Amino acid sequence: MADYPTLATSYGSDPKTITKFQVDRAEDGTARIVSLSNDKVSFQLRHEYITSAEKTTLDSFYTTNRLLTFTYLSPSDSVSRTCLFSSPINYKKNPDNSFTAEVAIEEA
């Protein structure tokens, strides 16, 4: 399993808990909750001012692993998790010719 590239990560890229609840009703109308057995987390990673070389590394990693699991070490809580990409990477070019990357991943 590959490791997510080591890039500076902006504040606000902290893990967010995914809790899936669904209310189900019995024939008599009694409500009951169905949920995930274990909470998982998602990340909206933001890598600001990355160089063209770092962008190439991130693009290559995405192309190779977009449908596979990979290991991501969260800098905010120092926990290593098995994750998947949940959408393609979004880039914005900055005036100084660097890039800002927004990456959405979720714990597998």
> Domain ranges in the chain?
2-107
Instruction: Please compute the mean of the pLDDT values over residues 98-108 and round it to a whole number.
Output: 97
pLDDT digits (tens, 9 = 90+) for 42-69: 999 999 999 999 999 999 999 999 999 9
Nearest Cα to 23, choosing from 15, 39, 11, 35? 35
pLDDT at position 36 is: 67
E strand map for the chain: 2-3, 16-18, 21-25, 31-35, 40-50, 70-73, 80-85, 90-93, 99-107
Per the CB < 8 A criterion, the answer to whether 35 and 19 are in contact is: yes
Tell if the pTM clears 0.75, that is, is over it: yes
pLDDT for 107 equals: 96
Instruction: State the Cα–Cα distance between residues 65 and 41, nearest whole angstrom.
Output: 19
